[in-house]
Amino acid sequence: MATKIFLPRLGESITEAVIGRWLKQPGDPVARGEVIAELETAKAMMELESPVKGTLLAIFPKTGDTVHLEELVAVVGKPGEDWDSSEKPIVAKADDESAKLVQKKDIKTALMNDTEIRLRVSPNAKRRAKELGISLENLSQIVKDGRVTAQEIEAIKPATNISDSETIPYTRIPLNQIQMITARRMVQSAQTIPQFSVSIEVNADGLINFINARKSIGNSKITLTAILIWKVAEALLKHPRLNSRFDGNAVLQFQEINIAVAVAAPEGLFVPVIHKAHQLSVEEIAKKLEQITSRLKNKRLEIKDTQEATFTISNLGMRGITSFIPLVDPDQTAILGVGALRDGIQWDETSILLRTRFFTLTLAADHRVVGGAEVSDFLATLKQLIETL
Amino acid sequence: MRKLSISEALREAMVQEMRRNPNVILMGEDVGRFNGAFNVSNGMFNEFGPKRVWDTPISEAGFMGMGIGAALTGLRPVIEFQYADFMFCAMDQIVNEAAKLRLMSGGQASVPIVMRAPQGATGRAAQHSQSVEAFFMHTPGLYIALPSTPYDAKGLLTRAIRMNDPVLILEHKLLYGSASPGGGKAISELTISDIGSDVPEEQYEIPFGKADVKRVGRDVTIIATLLMVHRSLAVAADLEKEGISCEVVDPRTLVPLDEDTLLTSIRKTNRVVVVSEDISRGGVTAELSALTMDKAFDYLDAPVVRVAADNTPIPFGPAAEKRVIPQLEDIKKAVYEVLKD
Amino acid sequence: MSFKRPEDVATPLNLDGYEKPFLEKLFLRMVRAREFEEQLYYLFLTTKMPGTMHQATGQEAVAVGVASALNTDDYVTSTHRGHAHCIAKDVPLDVMMAEMFARRNGVCKGMGGSMHLCDFSRGMLGAFGIVGAGIPIATGAALTSVVKGSKQVAVSFFGDGAINEGVFHESLNMAALWKLPVVYVIENNQYALSMPNDLVSAVTDLSSRGCGYGIPGEKADGNNVIAVYEAASRAVEKARNGGGPTLLECITYRIRGHARFEPADYRDKAEVEQWEKFDPIKRFKVAALSGGNFSAQELVSIEKKVEEEITAAVAFASAGEEVGAEDYLQYIFEQPSESAGS
C-alpha cells in the first residue's frame, strides 16, 4: 500500500510551513530517511524525509506554496501503484475563524441614575415570590429603601383577584412586629413541615375532681392549663421523640422539656414558656404560669420567657371550640390543641348510662419525625395520665 | 474523656498508626532528636528509632521527592515541613509529581503520602507566616484538610495516613496548644475555645468531605477554617447577646469540600460570611463565594461577605500584622454587613 | 570546549566470557529500543500522532547495559527521554506503542503519553517531564528498601542537564548520608537541548561531582554495552550490599535532535557523523562477528524478530480504542470522580 505523507506538527506553535525546495520529483526512487524536500517554518529550516523506501508517486504543493497542518504533501509507493486520492485531511482554516469579528452590543451602564432609584430584590426574595405567587410590581409601596428580602415577601398576602380588590374600598392596617414575626413563622411552618394530626377524646371527670379538690383547700390557682402542662411533660418523658426538632438528616431530641402555651393578647399571639416542666410540681407550674401571664398583661414579658420551647399547648376550649388542628412551631415537632369540656354519656360494664364530662385533644406533628403510631401512643399515654388523676 | 491539645492529638494519630502499620514513616527537619520544632513529634524518635523517624537535611525538594519514591514503593511517609512557607521549596515535587503521578500513569502509581505543615501569622514576618491553602486547592490531585480542633486533628490525620492519595494537612501554629522546644509557648490567643478537645483514646477516622457545624444558628452562616473558626465562635457568642444567631460551619477539608452541609446552612440562613486567614485574592473566600453563587444564588438575601487577609506579604510590625490578618472586629463587622438590609 | 570525541571515549568491546543467552538479551533490547523509536519517527509523518517524542537514538547501550545488571524488582526512574529505559526493563512494546498513540490499551491508559511511561510491575517507576524529578524519587525507593530490608536497588537515569538541578545535590547528599542502595547514572549525551556541557556546568568532569558528597564517581564508554554493564554491575552490587551510592557517568551522544522536529542546528553535522561511526549497535555487531560470538544469520534473525514485534505493536496500538473524553475522571484520585467541575 502506498504511504501518504502529511505535514506534521513541526513545533508546538507551528501550524504551517512553506515548501523551500523539492529535492525529489515524482518517479524518483527514495530510500527510507532520505530527504525529499526542504521546509521553511517560522522557527527554522526543516527537512522532510521519506518514511519508507519506494518511489515518489506524487507531490502536491509547489515550491513557495504554504502547506497547513495535516495537509497531504506527498505519496510514496510502488511505481504505477494506485492510491486513494479521496483521503485528504481537511486543510485547517485557522485564520478565517479568527477573522470573524464578534459583534459586541453596546451595553449601556443603566445602573444608577441620580433621579432613579432601582428596586433591589434579593435572589431569595425572587424565589419566594415565585413560590408564593406574588407579583413584584407593587413592592415599592412596602419597602422604601434597601433590599427586598424574602422576609418581606412572606409577609405579603398574595393577591388573588387583583383587579377586583383594586376597586373595593379598604383600610390598610399594617402589621406590627409581633404579627410580622408570627406571620413569617406560620408560613415557615406551613411551607416546611409536613403536618398531620390525630385526635382523641379524654374523660375529664378525674381532672375536674382534681381541680375542685385543690380549690377547696385554697389552691385556687391550679388551672386546667397548668395540669395539662404537668401531664404533657410526664407523657413526653415516656415519648421523648415528640420533644424534638427535625434537623436535616437527624432528629434533635431535646434533653429538657420546655412547654410553651399559646396566649392571645391584643397585640398578637404570644407563646410564653414553662422551662423544665418535667422537673416541676403542678403547684410550681401553676405559679410560673401565673407570673408569666401577669408579666404579659403588663407588657413586661422578657426574652427568656419566650425562648427554647420544645413543645406547645394551645387551648381554645375556653372559647367554646370543640376541636381544632393547630400549626406546629417551626422549631418543634408537635403541638397539642385542647378543645372545650363537653357533656357526654358513657356506658359502664353493666350497661348503665353515666353522665360524664370529656374533651377532645388534637396533636399535630411533623411527619418527618413521627408517624401515626408514635403520636397515637403519646396521646394514649396522656389520656391515661389525665384520666387517672 | 481526656482532653488533648492539637499537637498531642496529631502525635497520637501518628504514633498509633505507626505502631499499627510498620510501613508508616515520618520525615522532616528536626522531627527526630529535637522532637519537632512545634513539639508535635515529641518522643517519636525514642519510640520508633532512626529507620522510622528520619531527621532530614534542609532539602525540602529532595526529601519530598524521596517521600514520593518511598510512597510509590510501599511505604506511607508523613512529610513534615517545618513551616508552610517552606513548602514552596518543594513545589515541583508536590505539584508536578505527587499530585499528577496517578493520572499520568493511568492509575498504576499510587502516592500514599501525607504532607503536614504549620501556617498562620505569629509575628515572625512574611516568610514564616503565610497561609498557603490556595496554592494547593489549585493543585489537582491533592486532598487538603485543615483541622481546627484536637478531635478533628486526630481523626483527619489518621484518615489521611490510610488514604492512597497525596494529602496535605495544614495546621495552625496558634492552635497547637503546646510549648515549642525552640522557645516557649506560641503566642497565646485568648479566643481559643475548649471546643473539640475531648479526644477518644482509640483510633478513629474522620472522613474527608464532611464539614462540621461547630455552632448552630439561624440568622447568618459563617464559614471559617483553622484559627478563624475559633474567632468566629467568639464573635458568635458575643452577637448572641444582641439577638443575632450565627451558625459557624467548619469545612474541615477543602478538597473534597462538603458542599451539601454548606449549602444546607446557607439555604437556612440566606446570609453568608466567609472567613479565612489566607489573602482574599484567589483564595479560600473567593472559591467559597463562587460556590455560593453557583449553587445557592436563589437563597441569598445579601451578597456573600468575605473576611480574609489583605493582599500583601505579612509585615513584621505587630500593629501592621494585626491590620492585615482578620481580627474579631473584622468578623463582627462582616456579620453586621451581611445583615444590613 | 567540552566535546568528547568518540575515539577518546571508546574502550574495547569484548563479548567473551558472557553466556550466549545473556548477549542475545543485550542485543535484542538495544535493537528493540532503536527500532521502536525509528518506527515512531516515521509514524509522525504518516499518522496523526498526538504529542511528540524525545529519541534516545545512539544512547541505547546505556539503558540496556545498566538495566541488564538489575533484577525485575529493582527500581528505575527515567527522564523525558525514557523509551530505551522502559524497553531495557522489558516493558512490552505493544502497550508502549499504544500509549504513544494515546489509546486506552496503552501502558498508562493513554493518560500520560511518551514522557510519563511507567510499568510498576517491572520496577519502572516512570519517565518524568520535569528534568531531575526522578532523582529524589529513585532515592526514596532506595529508602523503602532500607526500611523494609528488602535488598532492592534503585537506579536513577538522568542527563548532563539534570545534574544542575537542586534536587540532584539534595538527593546525593541524603543517599550518601544514609548509605542508600541507589546508583545514579548520568547519561551524558553532551547536550542539554541546545547547551553543551561547558556552557552550563562549571566543572565538566561530571562524575567528579560525587566527591562533594563522598560518592565515588566512575566513567564508562556509554556506547559499549559491556563496559556499561560491568560498571553498572559493580555499582549495583555495592549498593545491594550496603555500600551506598555510586555516580556513574556514561559518555554517549544524542544522534537525533532534542525532540521530534527539533533539527539540532546548534551542532556540526560532522560531529554527528563522527559519533554515528561509534553507534553502539554497530559496534556490538562488529564485536560479535569478529569475536565469533554470533553468526551474521543469528543477528539478522534477531533484527527480523524485532521488526515483527514492532509491526505487531503498531497494529495493537492502531486497533486500540482512542482515549475517551471522560476517562481522566477515573485517575485523579483512587476514588473515581463523578465530575471535576466546581
Looking at residue A29, what is its pLDDT? 93
> Where do we find the cell 530510500?
A31
- Work out the burial of residue B98: count CB atoms within 10 Å of its CB; fewer than 13 is exposed, 13-18 middle, 19 or more buried: buried
Using an 8 Å Cβ cutoff, are C316 and C45 in contact?
A: no
Nearest to A370 by CA among A176, A236, A184, A274: A236
- Interface A-C, measured as beta-carbon pairs within 8 A, has a size of 34
Q: At A287, is the secondary structure helix, strand, or coil?
A: helix
B341: chain A residues, CB-CB within 8 Å: 122, 146-147, 149
Q: At A120, is the secondary structure helix, strand, or coil?
A: strand
Count Cβ atoms below 10 Å from residue A245 Cβ, excluding itself. Answer: 18
Of C173, C331, C340, nearest to B106 by CB-CB distance is: C331
Distance CA C126, CA C86 (A): 9
Nearest to C153 by CA among C76, C74, C229, C69: C74
Looking at residue A98, what is its pLDDT? 35
Of B23, B106, B164, nearest to C109 by CB-CB distance is: B106
pLDDT tens, residue by residue, B122-154:
888 999 999 999 999 999 999 999 999 999 999
Structure-model confidence comparison of residues A86 and A263, the more confident one: A263
Q: How far is A63 from chain C (nearest CA, A)?
A: 19
- CA gyration radius, chain B: 19
Using an 8 Å Cβ cutoff, are C96 and C117 in contact?
A: yes
Neighbours of chain C (3+ CB pairs under 8 A): A, B
List C-alpha distances in Å: B168 to A97, A355, B111.
Answer: 44, 78, 12
Candidate from A8-12, B54-58, C121-125 with smallest mean pLDDT:
A8-12
- Confirm whether C268 is domain-assigned: yes
- Confirm whether C3 is domain-assigned: no
pLDDT tens, residue by residue, A314-345:
999 989 999 999 999 999 999 999 999 999 98
Taken in order of first residue, the domains within chain A and their CATH numbers are 3-85 (2.40.50.100), 122-174 (no CATH), 194-387 (3.30.559.10)
Inter-chain residue contact C170 with B165, CB threshold 8 Å: no
Q: Does B243 touch chain C (CB under 8 A)?
A: no
Helices and strands of chain B, counted as H and E runs:
12, 12
**At B144, phi and psi to the nearest 5?**
-135, 130
Count up the domains in chain C and report the number. Answer: 1
B164: chain C residues, CB-CB within 8 Å: 334
Looking at residue A117, what is its pLDDT? 46
Using an 8 Å Cβ cutoff, are C81 and C56 in contact?
A: yes
- Confirm whether C194 is domain-assigned: yes
pLDDT tens, residue by residue, A273-294:
999 999 999 999 999 998 998 8
Of C45, C260, C263, nearest to A5 by CB-CB distance is: C45
Q: At A230, is the secondary structure helix, strand, or coil?
A: helix
> Parallel, antiparallel, or unpaired: how do β-strands C246-251 and A120-121 relate?
unpaired
Distance CA A371, CA A343 (A): 31
B212's grid cell: 462540621
Count Cβ atoms below 10 Å from residue B332 Cβ, excluding itself. Answer: 22
- Torsion, Cα B23 B29 B31 B35, to 10 degrees, reads 170
B143: chain C residues, CB-CB within 8 Å: 333
Query: Residue C109, by phi and psi: left (phi above 0), alpha (psi -120 to 50) or beta?
Result: left
Q: Determine the residue type at A244.
A: S
Neighbours of chain B (3+ CB pairs under 8 A): A, C
Distance CA C86, CA B210 (A): 42
- Work out the burial of residue A368: count CB atoms within 10 Å of its CB; fewer than 13 is exposed, 13-18 middle, 19 or more buried: middle
Give catalytic residues of B, as residue numbers. 60, 128
Of C43, C260, C263, nearest to A44 by CB-CB distance is: C263
Q: Is the pLDDT of residue A216 over 50?
A: yes
Burial readout B161-172 (b: 16 or more C-beta within 10 A, e: otherwise): bbbebbbbbbbb
Helix (H) or strand (E) holding C191: strand C191-192
In chain B, the percentage of residues whose pLDDT exceeds 90 is: 90
A303: chain B residues, CB-CB within 8 Å: 243
Q: How far is C37 from chain A (nearest CA, A)?
A: 13
DSSP C73-116: TSEEE--SS-HHHHHHTT--HHHHHHHHTTBTTSTTTTSS-GGG
Which residue, among C43, C46, C269, would best test binding to A if mutated, counting the most A CBs under 10 Å from its CB? C46
Q: Does A303 touch chain B (CB under 8 A)?
A: yes
Close Cβ partners of B301 (under 8 Å, ≥ 6 residues apart): A122, A124, A125, A147, A149, A150, A151, B270, B271, B341
Neighbours of chain A (3+ CB pairs under 8 A): B, C
Looking at residue A107, what is its pLDDT? 27
- Average pLDDT in chain C: 95
**At A174, phi and psi to the nearest 5?**
-65, 150
Taken in order of first residue, the domains within chain B and their CATH numbers are 6-175 (3.40.50.970), 212-339 (3.40.50.920)
Q: Determine the residue type at A223.
A: T
Inter-chain residue contact A149 with B264, CB threshold 8 Å: no
Which residue, among C333, C334, C339, C342, would best test binding to B if mutated, counting the most B CBs under 10 Å from its CB? C333
Q: How far is B44 from chain C (nearest CA, A)?
A: 16
Using an 8 Å Cβ cutoff, are B50 and B23 in contact?
A: no
Looking at residue A262, what is its pLDDT? 92
Q: How confident is the model at residue B191 (pLDDT cuts 50, 70, 90)?
A: low
Candidate from A58-72, A117-131, A204-218 with smallest mean pLDDT:
A117-131
In chain B, the percentage of residues whose pLDDT exceeds 70 is: 95
Average pLDDT over residues B199-224: 97
Nearest to A68 by CA among A44, A88, A83, A85: A88
**Nearest Cα residue in chain B from A331:** B218
Nearest to C275 by CA among C185, C178, C193, C190: C190
Q: Is the pLDDT of residue A81 over 90?
A: no
> Where do we find the cell 504529542?
C51
Looking at residue A306, what is its pLDDT? 84
Inter-chain residue contact B299 with A146, CB threshold 8 Å: no
Flag whether the pTM goes above 0.80.
no
Q: How confident is the model at residue A119 (pLDDT cuts 50, 70, 90)?
A: low
Count Cβ atoms below 10 Å from residue B303 Cβ, excluding itself. Answer: 16
Q: Determine the residue type at C253.
A: Y
Average pLDDT over residues B193-219: 93
Looking at residue A8, what is its pLDDT? 84
Candidate from A212-221, B42-51, C139-148 with smallest mean pLDDT:
A212-221
Which residue, among B210, B216, B301, B340, would best test binding to A if mutated, counting the most A CBs under 10 Å from its CB? B301
DSSP code of residue B35: -
Distance CA C308, CA B340 (A): 77
- Confirm whether C16 is domain-assigned: no
Q: Is the pLDDT of residue A93 over 70?
A: no
Q: Where are the beta strands (DSSP E) in chain B?
A: 24-28, 53-55, 76-80, 114-119, 143-145, 167-172, 212-215, 220-224, 246-250, 253-255, 272-279, 305-309
Q: Is the pLDDT of residue A95 over 60?
A: no
Q: Which residues of chain C register pLDDT less than 50?
A: none
Distance CA B86, CA B80 (A): 10
Taken as a whole, chain C contains a residue count of: 342
Looking at residue A235, what is its pLDDT? 97
Q: How confident is the model at residue B225 (pLDDT cuts 50, 70, 90)?
A: very high
Chain B, window 15-54: residues with a beta carbon less than 8 angstroms from a chain C beta carbon: 23, 25, 51-52, 54
List C-alpha distances in Å: A111 to A47, A108, A137, B142.
Answer: 61, 9, 19, 43
> Where do we find the cell 515529641?
B42
Average pLDDT over residues B196-208: 95
Looking at residue A208, what is its pLDDT? 93
Using an 8 Å Cβ cutoff, are C61 and C252 in contact?
A: yes
List the domain range (segments joined by +) for residue C199: 22-330
**At B145, phi and psi to the nearest 5?**
-125, 145
- Interface B-C, measured as beta-carbon pairs within 8 A, has a size of 161
**At A336, phi and psi to the nearest 5?**
-110, 125
pLDDT tens, residue by residue, A142-182:
555 567 778 777 776 555 444 555 578 888 888 887 788 88
Print the SS3 string covering A320-388: CCCCCCCCCCCCCCEEEEECCCEEEEEECCCCCEEEEEEEEEEEEEECCCCCHHHHHHHHHHHHHHHHC
**At C156, phi and psi to the nearest 5?**
-110, 120
Looking at residue A96, what is its pLDDT? 39
Structure-model confidence comparison of residues A215 and C222, the more confident one: C222
**Nearest Cα residue in chain C from A75:** C46
Task: Tell me, rounded to whole angstroms, the distance of Cα A235 from its chain centroid.
Answer: 33
Looking at residue B123, what is its pLDDT? 87
Longest dimension (CA), chain C: 67
pLDDT tens, residue by residue, A261-273:
998 888 888 889 9
Residue C160 belongs to domain with CATH number: 3.40.50.970
Looking at residue A94, what is its pLDDT? 38
Average pLDDT over residues A79-101: 53
Chain B, window 145-174: residues with a beta carbon less than 8 angstroms from a chain C beta carbon: 163-165
- Work out the burial of residue C154: count CB atoms within 10 Å of its CB; fewer than 13 is exposed, 13-18 middle, 19 or more buried: buried
Distance CA B9, CA B155 (A): 9
List C-alpha distances in Å: A328 to A28, A246, A295, A374.
Answer: 95, 12, 25, 16
C324's grid cell: 475517551
- Confirm whether C6 is domain-assigned: no
Average pLDDT over residues B197-209: 96
Structure-model confidence comparison of residues A378 and A100, the more confident one: A378
- Confirm whether C10 is domain-assigned: no
Distance CA C122, CA A157 (A): 75
Which residue, among A1, A7, A10, would best test binding to C if mutated, counting the most C CBs under 10 Å from its CB? A10
Q: How confident is the model at residue B183 (pLDDT cuts 50, 70, 90)?
A: low
- Confirm whether C12 is domain-assigned: no
- Confirm whether C340 is domain-assigned: no
What residues does B248 pair with on adjacent strands? B215, B222
